[in-house]
Amino acid sequence: MLKRLGLIVLVISGCSTVNEAVFVTKTSISVAEIDTTPSELSFGYQRVEGFYGPNYENGAVPPVVAFLSSNGEIFNPQIKQIYATGDAAKIVTNKEVVKFTEDVLTGDKKSLLFGTSTSLGFKLGVSESNPTFLLGYRRKEASFIPIHKNDGGEEKYSSVLASIDTTIASTTKKFKNVQFFATGDAAKNMANKRYMKKAFDENAKSYLQVYDDQYSQQKTSHSEISGCAFRLSKNKWQGVLDSAISSALVPDDPNGRTYLKNRLQAYLSDNSADNKLKLLEAYIDDLSVALDADSEKHGILLEAHKNLVCGS
C-alpha cells in the first residue's frame, strides 16, 4: 500500500494540470536507546511536505493544512498529526464552530485520491537493570483532488481530513492509538469538533507564539497587581507577601526577602506615604525580577496571586 500510494502520487503529480491539486506529507521518526557502556541515544527525524496546485491571479491557493507535534519524551513519546484540505482545513484552523453548506452529490464526476499509510513499531525491555526503548514511526499522507466549478463559476476544492494521535507509555507498557480518516461533509463535521480544533490550536502553535502568549499574559497580571497593591489596606500586606514568598514569586535570594520583610515592618510601624511607597517599589520590583515568560506554571501562580491582591 505504501509503495502503491507513493507511485500513484508521483505519476499523478507529474501529469497534473492547474485543474488539480496534489498535497503530500511524509514523516519518519526513529529513536533508539542503546544499552552499552557508556549508554548512547540516537535520534532520527525526517519530514517531507509538498503541495502542487493552481495559484490564482489574485494570489489565492486551495486551502490545505498539515502539522506534526511530539512531546519530546524518549520513554513516553506522544505523536500527533493532522492533515486537511478544502473547507475542512479552514474549519479546523478556526477556533469557533463554523456553519457550512453540505455538499450535493451532483454534476460531472472526476476521480479523487486520498490515502494515508502508517508504520509504527516499538520495543520496551530491561537489560542488566537498564531500561531499553526502540521506536520507529513512519507516516505518509497524500491527496489528488480535482477542482470543480459550480454554476456561478466559483471553483470548489473538496474536503478531506486525516488525524492520528499515538501515545506509548513505557512505564505501564501501554500503547494508545487513535486515527481518523474522512472525506466530504464527514471531514467537515470532524474538523468542526471542538477537541479537533483544540488539538490543532494547542499543538500547531510555534514555540515563539506560546512564549509571546505567556509573556503577554504575565505582563498583564503584573500590571494589574501593581494597580491593586497601591490600594491595599495596611492589614492585608502581611498575607499578600506571605503568599508571594510561598509561591516563589519573589527572588530566592534571602537578602532580597529580608529587605522586603524589613520594608513591610517599617510600613506596619509607620504607615507614612514614604514607607508605603518604598514597600510598593520593593514588592513590584521583586515580582518583576521573578517574572519568567518561559514558564506556564509561573503564569498560573502569578494569576492566582493577582486574584488574591485584587480581591483583598
Domain map of the chain by residue range?
Answer: 2-204, 210-311
At residue 85, the pLDDT reads 92
| Distance between CA atoms of residues 194 and 202, nearest Å | 12
Contacts of residue 94, Cβ cutoff 8 Å, sequence gap at least 6: 197
Q: Assess contact for 12 and 145: CB atoms under 8 A.
A: no
Q: 3-state class of 24 per DSSP? A: strand
Q: Is the pLDDT of residue 137 over 60?
A: yes
Tell me, yes or no, if the pTM score tops 0.85: no
Q: Is the pLDDT of residue 55 over 50?
A: yes
At residue 43, the pLDDT reads 63
Catalogue the E-assigned strands of the chain.
Answer: 20-34, 40-52, 64-70, 78-85, 113-127, 130-149, 155-157, 160-169, 174-183
Start-to-end CA distance of the chain, whole Å, equals 65
Q: 3-state class of 231 per DSSP? A: coil
pLDDT tens digit sequence for 18-49? 677 888 888 887 766 555 555 566 667 677 77
Q: 3-state class of 200 per DSSP? A: helix
Q: Is the pLDDT of residue 159 over 80?
A: yes
pLDDT confidence band for 1 (50 / 70 / 90): very low
For residues 56-80, give the mean pLDDT. Answer: 77
Closest CA to 293 of 191, 237, 221: 221
| Pick from 3-17, 108-122, 142-156: least confident | 3-17
Top-confidence range, 56-70, 121-135, 165-179, 203-217: 56-70
At residue 211, the pLDDT reads 61
Q: How many CA atoms lie within 13 A of 212 on its CB side?
A: 5
Q: Is the pLDDT of residue 166 over 60?
A: yes
Which of residues 137 and 88 earns the better pLDDT score? Answer: 88
For residues 50-62, give the mean pLDDT. Answer: 79
At residue 87, the pLDDT reads 92
pLDDT tens digit sequence for 243-294? 888 888 887 677 777 888 888 899 889 888 888 888 888 888 888 655 554 5
